[in-house]
Amino acid sequence: MSKIVQRPKLKWSERLYLPAIFGGMKVTLRHFFAILTRKKKVTMQYPEEKWDAHLPNHYRGAPTLVMDEHGRERCVACQLCEFICPPRAITIHPEEIASDEKWAKVEKRPKTFEIDMARCIYCGLCQEVCPEQAIFLRKDYVVVGHSREEMVHDKKRLYELGQTMDGLVHKWNELK
């Protein structure tokens, strides 16, 4: 069953749309004169001026991999970030850790880890799902490359960008 909604009756001046046009022009002219008299600045001159100091705390930039304070990989190649990535920008190929190594209990590590920055939508789901806090989103909005191949960041490049991060890492915890 449909419901009929009655439209309100418009006055004669409202039907002409002239008051609405003049209201919009008033706002436009107010902004124009504020910019003209330099009371308000709207445009940022990008290469010279950057947002770095003004980025909010919740800003989501480019994803990177981080190491712990001892220089060890945090990633356990669980592939949760690869599975949750909406544009399928993350590719991980895990490898087993040899049983004679000290951290063999971890079982696997990433042999290859690639993020295609041309496909990444900076949603932050990879950071949220990571159980070892191996992926972090940098406060960086300039990710450039001259070709598609340059936009695919491999594990080495991701660790260069991410550096180290202090804090508890479950992977290296001997009690786990």
159-168 pLDDT, tens per residue? 999 888 777 6
Measured at the CA of 135, the angle between CA 110 and CA 157, to 5 degrees, comes to: 65
Q: pLDDT category, 109, cuts 50, 70, 90?
A: confident
pLDDT at 174: 61
pLDDT at 170: 57
Single-letter amino acid code for the residue at 151: M
Q: pLDDT category, 72, cuts 50, 70, 90?
A: confident
Structure-model confidence comparison of residues 165 and 6, the more confident one: 6
Residues of the chain with pLDDT > 70: what percent?
Answer: 92
- Distance in angstroms (rounded) separating the CA atoms of residues 65 and 130: 11
pLDDT at 139 over 60: yes
Q: Indicate whether this model's pTM tops 0.85.
A: no
pLDDT at 155: 94
- Distance in angstroms (rounded) separating the CA atoms of residues 77 and 143: 25
Report the chain's mean pLDDT, rounded to a whole number.
86
13 token code pair? 């001046």
3-state secondary structure of 67: strand
Other CB atoms within 10 A of residue 87 CB: 11
pLDDT at 171 over 60: no
Lowest-pLDDT choice from 81-90, 102-111, 143-152: 102-111
Lowest-pLDDT choice from 20-29, 60-69, 104-113, 166-175: 166-175
pLDDT at 66 over 80: yes
